Amino acid sequence: MTITIQNYQSQCDTHNLYEVNFFEDIIHTLVTHDPNMVSQWLSVIESLNNHSSSRLVVSLDIEWHPNNRYYKNPVATLQLCVGLHCLIYQLIHSPYVSSPLVLPFSPPASAWNNQFEPTWKVSTFIPSGSSLHLPNDCILENGSVFPFYPHYRLVSIGRKIYIIGRTAMLRYDTWTGTLVPKARMGFPRKKFAAAEVAGKIYVAGGSSRPEAVEEYDPDENEWRVVSHAPRRRYGCIGAAVDGVFYVIGGLKIGAAGNEAAHVYASSMDLYDVEARGWLRSRALPGGGCVVAACAANGHLYILSSHAVELSFWKFNGSRKSREFGEWRRIKPPPLPAQVRLDSTVGFSCVGVGDKVVLIQVVGCIDDLLRRSGRRERGLKEGLVLIYDCATEEWSRAADTPAVIRRAACVCVEC
């Protein structure tokens, strides 16, 4: 029997994470005394098994010091195992027993078709630049890494999030909570396109050499130029579907490297990662600025703003489909009509399974309405809207906390 245990040595004092290798199976194990971590684990297990047609099987065990005739020891640990996920709850060190433990799998009311109610929780704060051992040009005199933040992009590979800044990159492990610096891009970029394809990161646009397309290999921790884009872009958005890296919208950049004043690039370029070549570019619908874009459920979804009209579109990205390359206009988000989104209001878009989550990361729509003399209110800051790709309907979720502003968003499968 071959059993090995890998300790991830979490920096948090509330929990630790392990991988138990049992023959060919890997059991993901959480050890904690924190009721909040228990609630979070139960929520993850419920979401993973929501669509299962069979009844959920949960194995349970408890441990305690042996009793004697003078003293009965309390239960020390509770162990739950569901599939390849295990929880070891240190009850003896817990300040209280969390209520979800009493009814661990009773489904809560929800805005996600009776799945989980979307909630927000602060996970970690990025420490000072000196403690991360970043290059000196990334750190201010007070030790902060502010130059790292403007126009950064997020890309996830597995459970890890890569925070890609203009002159630095960090990798955050969502299991262990660890944050480590990684190799920076070959060319400083801002407002660039980035996406993950086949376990590697691809970036394009937004640099002094914006035609260079770079690839990052996480195993080698190296960037390299793999191609040159057919168009120069600034402020573009990246997405990936079916092995293709999409470089979407943005502003046109002239041959001399100067931005054409507010001239939108009404197209997107398609890079076939496996073939190392470019497919035919596609025109963007809507005739205006791409406000946000993401990939979900085999399609690209694009929110476009033209004059005072917002439109929402989806692009079939499945290359084996007869409808590959076709655009279809779909129901726009429930925002006030005749609102022109200016530079004071921004959105981020991320695909989560068969949902598209649209998150307002900058500005206040109420202010736009007020400046135009309209009385509608209730859309302040941090608006979160969810589009169900199956039902083609929108719903509103919990607004983002006040601490989250000018955010980039990414989906992580833990």
213 versus 396: the higher-pLDDT residue is 213
CA distance linking residue 213 with residue 195, whole number of Å: 12
In this predicted model, what pLDDT tens digit does every residue of 250-275 receive, in sequence order?
887 765 545 444 577 789 999 999 99
CA distance linking residue 290 with residue 239, whole number of Å: 13
The tokens 């022109």 sit on which residue? Answer: 340
Other CB atoms within 10 Å distance of the CB of residue 291: 23
The strand pair at 212-217 and 222-228 is best described as antiparallel
Other CB atoms within 10 Å distance of the CB of residue 5: 11
Q: Which of 117-121, 265-269, 273-277, 390-394 has the lowest mean pLDDT?
A: 117-121
What are the residue ranges of CATH 2.120.10.80 in the chain? 129-396
CA distances from 75 to 14, 66, 72, 289 (A): 19, 10, 9, 60
Q: Which of 177-191, 293-307, 353-367 has the lowest mean pLDDT?
A: 353-367
Q: Write out the two tokens for 263.
A: 């001239």
Residue 202's H or E segment, with its range, is strand 200-204
CATH 2.120.10.80 assigned to 129-396: yes
Residues facing 4 on adjacent strands: 21
CA distances from 148 to 137, 218, 298 (A): 10, 20, 32
pLDDT at 65: 77
Read off the pLDDT of each residue in 233-237 and give the average, rounded to a whole number. 89
Listed in sequence order, the residues at least 6 apart from 355 whose beta carbon sits closer than 8 Å to its beta carbon are 112, 296, 386, 387, 388, 389
CA distance linking residue 236 with residue 191, whole number of Å: 6
Listed in sequence order, the residues at least 6 apart from 173 whose beta carbon sits closer than 8 Å to its beta carbon are 8, 159, 160, 179
The pTM assigned to this predicted structure is: 0.68
Do 170 and 163 contact (CB within 8 A), yes or no? yes
